[in-house]
Amino acid sequence: MNTEQRIVILGAGYTGMLAAVRLARRTRKLDTTITLVNPSARFTERLRMHQIAAGQELAEHRIPEILEGSGVEFVHGWVTSIDAEAKQVCVDDTRTLHYDKLIYALGSSTDTSIVPGAADHAWTLNDPRTAHRCSEQLAVVATNGGNVAVCGGGLTGIEAAAEIAENHPGLNVTLISRTEPGAMMGEKARAYLNAALDRLGVARAIGGTVTKVLPDAVELDGGELIPADLTLWTTGVRVSPLATQAGIETDARGLIVVDPTLRSVSHPDIHAIGDAAAVRQAWGQVHGTCQSGLPTAAYTADTIARQLRGKKVEPFRFGYFHQPVSLGRRDAVIQFTKADDTPGRFYLTGPTAVKYKETVSGSPVPAFKMSKKVTMSVQLSKGGKATRQ
């Protein structure tokens, strides 16, 4: 009787990579095969794409090299369909992978489909190649002292606007946001953030909604036109439609609905992690960030290993701990939070915050490689009483 467990992981982003190397270590004495599928052989550091777009160079990491010695098989290709009943995945419409357990880690990307012109005239930070082309265009715009519009006042938009303004001081950078940048932070941290944006010369257009992206401007709902020789789009996310198309139960946004152990409520052999999962805690729904994604990956790897050994599995528990924001390479602000991501009393700024930010948001590759040898903690907080029903 064949007892081998075939485990397939879809997506080699932050969560998929951690799940793969951690699970391989946890199951090295068991009869398992682990296959990781990704459309690119390069590992993408999504948290640092704004640095590339601003003109900085990051080290290139190849997925097969990161996986070396782990025993994980890497399949380079696009997942084109999932047959959740037959338990198989089709890659590039040519190769079929059968699984006993599937980890769905396809993540999310910036959504440019909602606002007319965004897909045609705005840049995104979805992958290194696009970010590099954006940086090249930025350099051209900068030579003429042109205008740059960054759409979206969330953490990505703030970091991108600050990075661009610091790297290209001759540019006129405008951050467009429906709410005040840093609105999720406490008053003092938010005041520091806005003072830093002032110092960098980043203008803010607050309160308006973008209705159209033009080749040379961004139009707001009041009819105002903000000049833009280059527009960077950082607002709105979308997930892969594969889960919904496969008949796996998803929510209105396409996230897989999971139980307290992060297994699909409709197909328990499927585990969803990171941005792909609709994860609820007692305090509310987890929103997609690296801070929450990596704990779901580590938990799922440990959970599958325990299941295969017939051991009891505890529910996933998570609480937010901080909101780290870089303000260029020489400044940052860190807002510490309650479990539900609302601001707490404490915050960090300046050089101390820069060091903190680099520690928590630097390249995860060393941690991936270390996870092949030892079990590393990646969760800053389980939320304490806030996560208990």
Q: What is the pLDDT of residues 239-264, one digit of tens each?
A: 999 999 999 999 999 999 999 999 99
DSSP 386: G
Same domain as 11, residue 91: yes
Q: Which residues contact 1 (CB under 8 A, 6 or more apart)?
A: none
Report how far residue 140's alpha carbon sits from residue 127's, in angstroms, rounded to the nearest whole number: 21
- Evaluate if residue 388 carries a pLDDT over 80: no
Same domain as 25, residue 157: no
CATH code of residue 340 = 3.50.50.100
**What are the b/e assignments for 112-143, b being 16+ CB within 10 Å?**
beebebbeebbbbbbbbebbeebbeebeebbe
Q: Are strands 343-349 and 332-337 parallel, antiparallel or unpaired?
A: antiparallel
Inside any domain, residue 211: yes
Same domain as 274, residue 357: no
Residue 201: CB atoms within 10 A of its CB come to 13
Mean pLDDT of all residues in the chain?
95
Please give the helix or strand (H or E) that residue 326 lies within, else none. strand 322-326
Q: What percent of the chain has pLDDT over 90?
A: 90
Same domain as 153, residue 259: no
Instruction: Grade residue 389 by pLDDT with cuts at 50, 70 and 90.
Output: low
Inside any domain, residue 385: no
Same domain as 323, residue 309: no
Integer CA distances (angstroms), 129 to 112, 133, 141, 264, 349, in order: 17, 6, 19, 33, 32
CATH code of residue 289 = 3.50.50.60
Q: Summarize the confidence of residues 271-293 as an average pLDDT.
A: 94
Q: Summarize the confidence of residues 289-314 as an average pLDDT.
A: 96
Inter-residue contact 388 to 304 (CB < 8 Å) = no
Q: What are phi and psi of 219, to 5 degrees?
A: -100, 130
Inside any domain, residue 34: yes
SS3 of 352-378: HHHHHHHHHHCCCHHHHHHHCCCCCCC
Inside any domain, residue 10: yes
pLDDT at position 3 is 77
**pTM as predicted:** 0.95
pLDDT at position 92 is 96
Last residue of a domain, one of 268, 295, 318: 318
pLDDT at position 376 is 85
Same domain as 245, residue 224: no
Report how far residue 7's alpha carbon sits from residue 97's, in angstroms, rounded to the nearest whole number: 10
Inside any domain, residue 184: yes
Same domain as 190, residue 144: yes
pLDDT at position 308 is 96
pLDDT at position 213 is 98
Same domain as 245, residue 308: yes
DSSP characters over 31-46? SEEEEEEES-SEEP-G
Same domain as 314, residue 266: yes
The dihedral built from the CA positions of residue 37, 89, 297 and 310, taken in this order, carries a sign that is negative
Looking up tokens 């290993």 gives 305
Same domain as 362, residue 287: no
Inside any domain, residue 55: no
Q: Summarize the confidence of residues 76-88 as an average pLDDT.
A: 98
Count structural domains, the chain. Answer: 2
Instruction: Grade residue 1 by pLDDT with cuts at 50, 70 and 90.
Output: very low
Residue-level length of the chain: 389
| Cβ-based burial of 337 (10 A; exposed 0-12, middle 13-18, buried ≥19) | buried
Last residue of a domain, one of 318, 333, 351: 318
The per-residue pLDDT for range 199-208, each reduced to its tens digit, is: 999 999 999 8
Same domain as 261, residue 176: no
Residues spanned by the domain of 26: 5-39+77-107+240-318
Q: What are phi and psi of 100, to 5 degrees?
A: -100, -35
- Evaluate if residue 292 carries a pLDDT over 70: yes
pLDDT at position 2 is 58
Last residue of a domain, one of 300, 318, 336: 318
Q: What percent of the chain has pLDDT over 70?
A: 99
Inside any domain, residue 306: yes
The per-residue pLDDT for range 152-195, each reduced to its tens digit, is: 999 999 999 999 999 999 999 999 999 999 999 999 999 999 99
Inside any domain, residue 360: yes
Same domain as 326, residue 371: yes
